[in-house]
Structure 1
Amino acid sequence: MAGMLDGKSALVTGAGSGIGRATALAFAREGAWVAVADLTLDAAQRTLGAVEAAGGQGVAIACDVTDDAAVAAMVAAAVNAFGGLDCAFNNAGIAPYQVNATGVATADIEEAAWLRILDVNLNGVWRCLRHEVAQMRKQGGGAIVNTASVGGLVGLRGSSAYAVSKHAVLGLTKTAAIDHAADNIRVNAVCPGYIETPMTEESMRRAGERILGRVPMGRLGQPGEIAEAVVWMCSDRASFVTGAGWTVDGGYTAV
């Protein structure tokens, strides 16, 4: 049985672990060649090894999404490897704990931490998107999915910079979808809830009982559950879907 993405090429940022890694594997399972990108080459290569062990094909690329030249080189490397770029998942991001801003009130967060979160989570997505769009325009279209969050739909106590960055990713997604519909490029976002990844470990340590108490399904999501939504949005089965933010959160934002 043919996969949803047979013969297509895909790029995943933040693919070294968690949602990015699960999505790279799902892309490969559905027949795509996968450019696996992460901040460190070692992390990208580990995921590529898992892709290849599962019968997929791809390349590993190191990329810092805060460096525009590195992003341009990443997209070029994917195109050089596969001859084009059909799908992109702009997933690289950071959490407040990575800049010592966990639980810090809005007025108390350090400027450097604020700017760092925005540069990775928002500007990094924009840098990737602009280079991906440039390639997809040349080839007549494509599909892009950006990682937002339930933090892009509601406020998150003690995580203002993160929430702002993810709200902004949704605004970027919607506007880019409008701007590039005529280019046959679809742009959507996925809004994960609390997923069992390294990025949520700190939140669960501090407030796991409270968080799960707000999730009607009563559990953390799994990275593969986000990957399924991303793969579908990148496939031709979602041919009339653009400018959407798909929430995958076990009901967290329904409460």
Structure 2
Amino acid sequence: MSLDGKCAFITGAASGIGQGVAVRTAARGAHVVCADIQDASVTVKMIQEAGGSAEPVLIDVSSAQDWTEAVSAVVGRTGRLDLLANVAGITPGASGSAGDTVLNLDEATWSRVLDINLKSVWLGMKAVIPHMREAGVGRIVNTSSISALRGMPGMAAYAASKGGIQALTQQAAAEYAADGILVNAIAPGMILTPVKLSNVDIFQEVAAEKHLVPRLGEATEVGDVVVFLFDEATFMTGQVLPVDGGWTARG
């Protein structure tokens, strides 16, 4: 696989799955814009030390103005924007909180989760697709979750946002296939990311019970699937691929 000469914009790239996607995308030859509300310089350094090309960009993915300015600046510097991975998101219930339930959610939390997880995907595609249409080709990968495919207590707003991403991915795929733009999504299972590192033993135990592959996934393993959708999946669009160690294959 090769993404030589391509420019990829990846959100949530400072750590976790976003970092794994950025590292794997750069390893295939793309110049990677590591976008995050946090400083992504660590990811950029990892990529550059491995011989790749990357730059950090600060962005609030829930801000339309931030998206417009960031994408315009990247296209101004590189002359192109070929690939978009919408990875940034928050998980209110990841640390065991009982707050993300239908009854316990407050309106402010609901709005924040939907803004960062779902609205950001719409804004990202809205900012990038015009440049892809002009080029006549583009690849977009959005990040849903297996929580959009299975009921999981304590993940009400999160699951709603991820279910919205699945529907929005299918809609965008239908709208822009004629422009040469393929839009797919991934649905990760339990991945070893910083938000889970404080309770590794607990999450490992849960993973062993839920996954057919009895461990947590690695962020770079998710990155490999994104790279596949970026490069080799030329006859796929509107699909949601579980990257879940077999979780959703279980009865």
Correspondence for 1:69: 65
Q: Does the alignment pair 1:173 with 2:190?
A: no
* Root mean square deviation, CA, Å: 1.8
Normalising by structure 1, we get a TM-score of: 0.92
Counterpart-to-counterpart distance in 2, 1:149 and 1:205: 22
Q: Does the alignment pair 1:91 with 2:87?
A: yes
Correspondence for 1:13: 11
Counterpart-to-counterpart distance in 1, 2:219 and 2:226: 11
Counterpart-to-counterpart distance in 2, 1:55 and 1:93: 28
Structure 2: segments with no counterpart, 5+ residues? none
Identical-pair percentage: 39
Counterpart-to-counterpart distance in 1, 2:90 and 2:156: 13
Q: Does the alignment pair 1:250 with 2:248?
A: no
Which among 125, 143, 158 is matched to residue 154 of structure 2? 158
Counterpart-to-counterpart distance in 1, 2:58 and 2:37: 5
Counterpart-to-counterpart distance in 1, 2:58 and 2:145: 24
Q: Do the aligned partners of residues 89 and 49 (structure 1) sit closer, same or farther apart at CA in structure 2, a change above 3 Å counting?
A: same
Task: Work out the number of aligned pairs and report it.
Answer: 249
Counterpart secondary structure, 1:71: helix
Counterpart-to-counterpart distance in 2, 1:7 and 1:198: 31
Normalising by structure 2, we get a TM-score of: 0.94
Correspondence for 2:98: 103
One-letter amino acid of the counterpart of residue 97, structure 2 = T
How far apart are 1:206 and its partner, in Å?
A: 6.2
Correspondence for 2:45: 49
Q: Deviations over 1:209-251 (max 9, x none)?
A: 344311111100000110000011011x211110010111011
Correspondence for 1:239: 234
Counterpart-to-counterpart distance in 2, 1:201 and 1:96: 15
Q: Does the alignment pair 1:37 with 2:32?
A: no
Q: Deviations over 1:186-209 (max 9, x none)?
A: 000011000000233477676653
How far apart are 1:175 and its partner, in Å?
A: 0.7
Cα pair 1:141 1:185 within 8 Å, conserved: yes
Q: Deviations over 1:152-193 (max 9, x none)?
A: 111110110000100110000011000001111000001100
Q: Do the aligned partners of residues 130 and 101 (structure 1) sit closer, same or farther apart at CA in structure 2, a change above 3 Å counting?
A: farther
Counterpart-to-counterpart distance in 1, 2:241 and 2:22: 19
